[in-house]
Amino acid sequence: MIEFLQHLGENTRTSFTKLGRGTFFLLQTLSGIPSVLIRPRLLLNQMHSVGVLSFLIITISGLFVGMVLGLQGYYILSDFGAEETLGVMVAASLVRELGPVVAALLFAGRAGSALTAEIGLMKATEQLSGMEMMAVDPIKRIITPRFLAGFLSMPLLAALFSAVGIIGGQIVGSGLLGVDEGAYWSQMQAKLDFQDDIINGVIKSIVFGFVASWIALFEGYDAIPTSEGVSRATTRTVVNSAFSILGLDFILTALMFGDN
């Protein structure tokens, strides 16, 4: 029993210490934003590797998720003779939930793990230390541009995911299953609210982008500089990002859609 309590106490202390380090790291990262804005080239390079290179996985996944939504939605809605509302169902599911959440999970898996491994290996091969000795702040030069790139790319990727998904739903719904195409689009236009649905979805993806980028970069920066340390950090990035994204999604959904 005593051993269990000791273990619990030690784990709690370790977690809080890490949270403290993480918060300090975030503040340092944010303080580097002005210096990145002066040199937008650093940001653009990272937006390419974090954002543009995630295009393919986001597009293909979005398409399939939309197609599945179209298929499942059609089977349920047609039971009630309400298949004309398929467009609303597909679009609302994507814009409110699946777009931000699944895109963020894919982002954590593809870009987040890459960021952690990159930063962790830079630490292990003394590149970060070397930069410090060249009087170049690695936070400003390496971390902040990647953080901003992740944070800015996420809403764009989520929007792409939702848009492609809606097209996927339409391909299956109208193309294969015979839902009226006009009804698919017009019902969607009539029922979806810009403020409640689209803006809330964008806010979610901004929050997820912030958290996923923070976790990925911190885990890399805080990794034990060995091959095993970097591999563990990469795993932690994916696991912790997934938990944080799903947990935050619940909280944000409750706050945004609670009074409906």
Partner 1 sequence: MDNSVSPQSSLVSVNNLSFSRGNKKIFDDISLEFERGKITAIMGPSGTGKTTLLKLIGGQLFPEKGIINVDGNNVHRLRRSELYNLRKRMGMLFQSGALLTDMNVFDNVAFPLREHTHLPESMIRTLVLMKLQAVGLRGARKLMPNELSGGMARRIALARAIALDPMMIMYDEPFTGQDPISKGALVHLIKSLNTILGLTSIVVSHDVQETAAIADYIYVISEGKVVGQGTPKEIQQSESDWVQQFMTGAADGPAHFHYPAKDYIDDLLSTGKRY
In whole angstroms, give the CA distance from residue 257 to residue 260: 6
Nearer to partner 1, 89 or 139 (CB): 139
Q: Give the one residue of 19, 136, 239, 251 binding partner 1; rule: CB under 8 A.
A: 136
Distance of CA 22 to the CA centre of its chain: 18
In whole angstroms, give the CA distance from residue 118 to residue 217: 9
Regarding 254 and contact with partner 1 (CB under 8 A), the answer is: no
Residue 115 is encoded by which pair of tokens?
Answer: 């960021």
Q: Which amino acid is at 253?
A: T
Q: From the CB of residue 182, how many other CB atoms can be counted at a distance below 10 Å?
A: 11
Nearer to partner 1, 112 or 138 (CB): 138
Regarding 232 and contact with partner 1 (CB under 8 A), the answer is: no
Regarding 126 and contact with partner 1 (CB under 8 A), the answer is: yes
Stretch near partner 1 under the rule CB under 8 A, chosen from 19-27, 135-143, 188-196, 226-234: 135-143
Regarding 35 and contact with partner 1 (CB under 8 A), the answer is: no
Q: Which residue has the tokens 């790291």?
A: 25
In whole angstroms, give the CA distance from residue 149 to residue 33: 11
Regarding 132 and contact with partner 1 (CB under 8 A), the answer is: yes
Q: Give the one residue of 141, 152, 171, 186 binding partner 1; rule: CB under 8 A.
A: 141
Regarding 30 and contact with partner 1 (CB under 8 A), the answer is: no
Nearer to partner 1, 2 or 133 (CB): 133
Stretch near partner 1 under the rule CB under 8 A, chosen from 50-58, 133-141, 169-177, 224-232: 133-141
Name every residue whose Cβ is closer than 8 Å to that of residue 152 and which is 6 or more positions away in sequence.
47, 51, 209
In whole angstroms, give the CA distance from residue 84 to residue 233: 47
Task: Determine the size of the site formed for partner 1 (CB under 8 A).
Answer: 14
Minimum CB–partner distance for residue 140 and partner 1 (Å): 10
Minimum CB–partner distance for residue 118 and partner 1 (Å): 9
Regarding 129 and contact with partner 1 (CB under 8 A), the answer is: yes
- The three-class DSSP label of residue 258 is coil
Q: From the CB of residue 220, how many other CB atoms can be counted at a distance below 10 Å?
A: 28
Binding site for partner 1 (CB under 8 A): 122, 125-127, 129-137, 141
